[in-house]
């Protein structure tokens, strides 16, 4: 039988990311400080040419909360998008873009940074399928790259809300 523990599944995701995408990863096991397993993936600099990463974690649920699935969260902060003031236009722009993404959504985290998040359901019985995982990750990375420049430019005042509406 497949070991479907979170750590084992993140190890499989790590192997897939390294083999298919040739990206550097770091698997952090649970500890007194970090309560859940976390896989950190160093992403290429991308269109905005800034350092960036992605975190993968299983959302914590009690074992009997879900019978068939586990939820794997993909999360990345868009570099260079820290906001001094979060206004309604920014929220509207994030909502407008999030409605047009193949997967994932953009939001503002507690540090006033723009982030992208996607929650991927994984079968408890079968675990991660490396080929399906690679396909989902590929779509996540395309979404991140496609919209990060626009959001960074909007956050920095280089483009307007109307530019977002007309161009996305």
pLDDT along the chain (168 residues), means of 10: 75 97 94 89 79 92 79 90 71 86 86 90 92 96 86 81 81
pLDDT of residue 65: 73
Q: What is the pTM of this model?
A: 0.88
Dihedral sign, Cα of residue 100, residue 105, residue 108, residue 111: negative
pLDDT of residue 48: 65
pLDDT of residue 108: 87
All domains in the chain, ordered by first residue: 6-167 (3.30.1460.10)
pLDDT of residue 47: 65
Question: 118, 73 in Cβ contact below 8 A?
Answer: yes
Q: Give the distance, in angstroms, between the CA of residue 43 and the centroid of all CA atoms in the same chain.
A: 11
Identify the burial level of 49 via C-beta atoms within 10 angstroms of its C-beta, where 0-12 means exposed, 13-18 middle and 19 or more buried: exposed
pLDDT of residue 145: 86
Dihedral sign, Cα of residue 8, residue 12, residue 13, residue 18: positive
pLDDT of residue 1: 37
pLDDT of residue 109: 83
Give Cα separations from 150 to 70, 77, 80, 81, 155 (angstroms).
32, 14, 12, 11, 9
């Amino acid at each position: 039988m497949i070991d479907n523990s979170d750590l084992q599944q993140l190890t499989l995701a790590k192997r897939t990311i390294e083999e298919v995408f040739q990206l550097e990863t770091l698997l952090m096991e649970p500890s007194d400080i970090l309560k859940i397993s976390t896989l950190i993936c160093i992403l290429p600099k991308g269109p905005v040419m800034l350092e960036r990463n992605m975190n993968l974690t299983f959302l914590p649920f009690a074992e009997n909360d879900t019978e068939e699935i586990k939820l794997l969260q993909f999360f990345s902060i868009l570099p260079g998008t820290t906001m001094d003031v979060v206004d309604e236009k920014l929220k509207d722009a994030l909502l407008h873009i999030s409605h047009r993404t193949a997967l994932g959504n953009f939001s503002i985290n507690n540090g006033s940074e723009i982030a992208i998040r996607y929650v991927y359901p994984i079968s408890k019985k079968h675990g991660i399928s490396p080929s399906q995982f690679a396909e989902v990750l590929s779509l996540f990375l395309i979404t991140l790259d496609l919209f990060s420049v626009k959001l960074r430019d909007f956050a920095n005042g280089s483009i307007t809300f109307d530019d977002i509406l007309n161009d996305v």
